[in-house]
Copies of this chain bind each other. A is one copy, B any other.
Amino acid sequence: MASASKMSVVPARRGTAVRLAKGQALKVINTHGQQVVDSWAFHADDLGEFMSMEHLRQVINRIMPRVGDPLATNHRRPILTLIEDTSPGIHDTLMAACDIHRYRNLGCTGYHDNCTDNLFAAMAELGLRPPECPSPLNLWMNIPVVDGVEVEWHAPVSRPGDHVVLRAELDCVVVMSACPQDLVPINGAAMTPTEAHYQVLS
């Protein structure tokens, strides 16, 4: 990596879309250490091909990727590679992005920010509309599978400043959403969503 862009923010409760050319990489930083960042990647030439958790798990034979793993699309080829991870490596591939239905089920009567709407809003800022909301790679989300069957919801085990680096294997659009979940402690015991940061490396 010869150069790095300026550090940019993913505002708390919001999403951001970034274009990456093949070979560029994206550093995603858990600035305050307890923030889940839902992430997606779409092939720049065909938004119908995108990073897909149900295909990725088959390709890597794991429920969470580790450094060196390809992050596969629904066409079962790499769109990103996880090339660096300073955190303990706990990420989630099992859970859908939060959405209005999730917050209604939690008792919200009005609108609540959510990662699904953040995906569409972030893509719209680039003039793009994804064909669906794929199940995201939930960076730092801590969903242990206990006894092979049950899942639990815990605060992240990451620390302030931990980061991952994702290298683009295709020209793509990556979307990050700083998850606005503040009704369960998935973004830390304080239940206070924070911003995250990112940097494009090339």
Is A86 part of the binding interface, using a Cβ–Cβ cutoff of 8 Å? no
Total contacting residues, chain A, CB less than 8 A: 34
A119-158: contact bitstring with B at CB < 8 Å (1 yes, 0 no)?
0000000000001100100000000111011111100000
Is A96 part of the binding interface, using a Cβ–Cβ cutoff of 8 Å? yes
Main secondary structure of the interface of A (DSSP, over half): loop
Contact among B96, B144, B148 with A58 in the assembled complex (CB-CB below 8 Å): B96
CA separation between A62 and B147, bound complex, in Å?
10
**Closest chain B CB from A115 CB (angstroms):** 12
A152 nearest CB neighbor, chain B only: B61
Whether the Cβ atoms of B131 and A132 lie closer than 8 Å is yes
**Closest chain B CB from A132 CB (angstroms):** 5
Whether the Cβ atoms of A151 and B61 lie closer than 8 Å is yes
Whether the Cβ atoms of B63 and A95 lie closer than 8 Å is no
Whether the Cβ atoms of B62 and A149 lie closer than 8 Å is yes
**Closest chain B CB from A145 CB (angstroms):** 5
| Given A146-B148, A148-B144, A94 and B63 contact (CB-CB distance below 8 Å) | yes
**Chain B residues closer than 8 Å to A112, beta-carbon distance:** none
A101 nearest CB neighbor, chain B only: B76
CA separation between A54 and B99, bound complex, in Å?
12
**Closest chain B CB from A118 CB (angstroms):** 16
Whether the Cβ atoms of B150 and A148 lie closer than 8 Å is no
Whether the Cβ atoms of B132 and A95 lie closer than 8 Å is no
CA separation between A64 and B94, bound complex, in Å?
12
Is A192 part of the binding interface, using a Cβ–Cβ cutoff of 8 Å? no
**Chain B residues closer than 8 Å to A22, beta-carbon distance:** none
**Chain B residues closer than 8 Å to A57, beta-carbon distance:** 94-95, 151
Whether the Cβ atoms of B96 and A62 lie closer than 8 Å is no
Known interface pairs A57-B95, A58-B102, A94-B94; 5 further A-B residue pairs with C-beta atoms within 8 A, sorted by A's residue number: A54-B54, A54-B94, A54-B135, A55-B96, A131-B132
